[in-house]
A and B are shown apart, each in its own frame.
Chain A
Amino acid sequence: MSTTSGKAAAPVAGARGGGPGTAPSPATGSEDGREGPDGRRREHGRGRKRGLGVQNWAGWLFSTPFLVLFTVFMAFPIVATLAMSFTDFGLRNVTRPWEANFIGFENYTKLFGDEKFLTALFNTGYFVVIGVPLTLFLGLLVAVLLNNGIDRARTFFRVGFYAPVVTSIVAVAVVWRFVLDPSDGLIAGLCAELGLTAPDFLGSETLAMPSLIAMAVWRNLGTVMVLFIAGLQAIPTEVREAAKLDGAGAWQELRRITVPLLRPTLLYATVITTIGYLNVFEEPFVMTQGGPSDSTLTVSLNMYREGFNFFHMGYASAMAYVLFVVIMGITVLQLRLLKDNTK
């Protein structure tokens, strides 16, 4: 896996588990490896008969466990959710699903008149617009510093910045609540030393969201940092040396060598961070429950509430699909904008 054309992103995506890059590879891998570049096309045509021989039989056999799991846990729920989003599936349908009524696009049209959903959509947008650039910028900064500057304590800092990524959100919440607690938290204590009163971060409608963004940035910085470090280390030293010989300073090296060569990693990091933040759920769920006054209600949290607290399963499914379309649209846009600039 690590030999894939020097693209640093691929192995890390695998390590992250469940990332977008991991799912298809086991399915296609066995066929592609055997049949060569045109193997797949042959299967559709006349080659099919021959393909039922031992070779293909073995391929299908080995991919069966994955295919079964994929169908049961991915494909079926995805399609069922879509079907559900056109019905009024509610609590009583949990035991009597055949009583759910087909209501066409009613759930979808209702969504755009739903004040809560629109608030949630706005809040999620706010989270992404502030959170993604911050995470990427700080992640890159830390990665560059760790890659160039500190030599001795590099491992220490790398682990330090990565620790939040692997810490359970519940433990993180305990720490952050202590930090932000307005009466006896860390910031409140520091403020008191200086004779100031600390703001009530999570209780204020204007500060609650920025506080959650800060927490999310802190928590996701490590992922992005690791991506960037891997990307930086994949840049051949010869290129850097050549640039130095040509008289490039540190700034020029960063601008002309590092950033352009890092573009694939940058693209990947942007896309996964954006997707992650569009789905943001844990931070508001454990810290604020969407409050105060819905100021931290995100689309995912709203969906969870409608679905599992109020049992508006059909409605929640429609929300899931709207979110899906939003995510897909933004991802496609990002790929278009960022990919072809180098050529």
Chain B
Amino acid sequence: MHRAARTASVAIALATAFAVTACGSSAGDEVAADKKQTLTVWAMGAEGEKLAEVAEKYEKANPNITVKVTPVGWDVAHQKLVSAAAAGKLPDVAQMGGSYLGEFAELGVLEPVDTKTFDKKDFFPAGWQQGEVDGTSYGVPWYVDTRVLYYRTDLAKKAGVGKPPADWKGLRDMASALRDKGDGKWGIYLQPRGLDTVQSFYPFLYSAGGEIVDGDGKAAFDSPATVKALKEYGAYMKDGLSMKSSQPGYDPLKDFNTGDVPMFFSGPWISTLIKDQYPGLKGKWGVAPVPADKTSTSMAGGSSLVISKDSPHKAAAKEFIQHLTDTKGQADWFERTSDLPANTKAWESGELADNPDLQVFKKQMETAKTSPALAKWTEVTSKVDAAIESVTQGKASAEDAAEKAQSEIENLVK
């Protein structure tokens, strides 16, 4: 009976395997770029909706191509992409967040980028790196983002702080001044715990010179730099400068508007949100580079465009991606979405060159660090989240937290 059950389970696993591969190996013949064909494209969130407009224009210039854009919600994107990959039904072109690329490269469903067509030198280094897995590039950077410091200029003035902080000490002093002499309850918002706390922690970690995983793919969390960053981060909660707990999905914007939270770190999309939702804040806020420790280094994120390995329309897909990532296409995209261009040449004219706030992002982007594209990255960051939480909640010392996370990460990256 025992053996029968075992045989049965193996048989079923095999049956599943065959069923899945049967679907997976449906790659057809390649179609040349100038033939009549339909390109399927998946894009997430706001990008998905705007991309349809661009696609329409593209179709007019290239009448042989029909571009079918499917917007996918960010909340279901990952699941949808994985099941599509398993079934061999990935679209010809897909947008992928930096954190997905390691996984999908591991799945072996992505076509390597043609480096003759797409030149590494044209893009921000961090943008390019997020598509690189073990030295091979799988994604062309589409847009980038990085985190900078948002602060209320009017409240800073009231608290007697003229300039944005340049270093860690300056940031802590400013947070105290804003809390004590401004109207705010807090000095700054730093995510205290929960999912993706790590995103809020990166500016501290990277500026101190720390890393989660080093260039060789080995765990490197247990370093003096990490401990220093953890201590600094935890000090904000300990001193009551930042809240010790916040609900999942907490958005500091509302409290930024009231002045309760006069500073926080976030990405470029927040500028658009402030303009749209709180027009009353006009002229009362600014952005500043990440306060420095050893350096002023922020995290880099963004999205890349990938081509499915099974796609029969690779040639046309490549041309479409080229259209989206060249200088003109990127400037056009910025106008539509305010997404920051990954192509550095697109920054040389128009608002991108003139707007001082955007220059803060550009400068920060030049040195920003990207997280390595590892298949188990989400699991790794969940350990870091837990380490940060144990420090901000006063449950462990920075040293112990770093050591514990290090041993857990070691088991995951090897």
Instruction: Indicate which residue in A91, A100, A183, A203 contacts B103 across the interface (CB closer than 8 Å).
Output: A91
Q: Given A91-B103, A91-B375, A177-B247: A289 and B195 within 8 A (CB)?
A: yes
Contact of B107 with A98 in the complex, beta carbons under 8 Å? no
Q: Given A83-B9, A292-B245, A310-B376: A94 and B194 within 8 A (CB)?
A: no
Give the docked Cα–Cα distance between A142 and B301 (Å).
53
- Which residue on A lies nearest to B195, using beta carbons? A289
Contact of A291 with B13 in the complex, beta carbons under 8 Å? no
- Which residue on A lies nearest to B12, using beta carbons? A83
Q: B248 an interface residue at 8 Å Cβ cutoff?
A: yes
Contact of A291 with B17 in the complex, beta carbons under 8 Å? no
Instruction: Indicate which residue in B108, B246, B378 contacts A203 across the interface (CB closer than 8 Å).
Output: B246
Pick from A87, A94, A98, A288 the residue with the most CB of B within 10 Å: A94
Q: How many residues of A contact B (CB 8 A)?
A: 33
Give the docked Cα–Cα distance between A203 and B86 (Å).
38
Chain A residues near B109 (CB, 8 Å)?
95
Contact of A94 with B82 in the complex, beta carbons under 8 Å? yes
Chain A residues near B245 (CB, 8 Å)?
200, 203-204, 292
Q: What string of 1s and 0s marks CB contacts (under 8 Å) between B369-384 and chain A?
A: 0000001101100100
Instruction: Indicate which residue in B88, B375, B378 contacts A309 across the interface (CB closer than 8 Å).
Output: B378
Interface size class of B (residues with CB under 8 A): 35 or more
Give the docked Cα–Cα distance between A84 and B248 (Å).
32
Name 30 interchain pairs, CB-CB below 8 A, sorted by A: A79-B12, A83-B8, A83-B13, A83-B16, A86-B6, A91-B106, A92-B106, A94-B82, A94-B86, A94-B107, A97-B13, A97-B16, A97-B17, A98-B13, A102-B10, A202-B247, A203-B244, A204-B245, A287-B248, A289-B194, A289-B195, A291-B193, A291-B195, A291-B248, A292-B193, A293-B390, A293-B393, A309-B382, A310-B376, A310-B382
In A197-228, the 8 Å CB interface with B consists of 200, 202-204
Give the docked Cα–Cα distance between A307 and B148 (Å).
34
Give the docked Cα–Cα distance between A293 and B245 (Å).
11
Q: Given A91-B106, A92-B107, A310-B376: A97 and B20 within 8 A (CB)?
A: yes
Give the docked Cα–Cα distance between A225 and B379 (Å).
42
Chain A residues near B16 (CB, 8 Å)?
80, 83, 97
- Which residue on A lies nearest to B258, using beta carbons? A184
Instruction: Indicate which residue in A84, A87, A291 contacts B194 across the interface (CB closer than 8 Å).
Output: A291
Q: A181 an interface residue at 8 Å Cβ cutoff?
A: yes
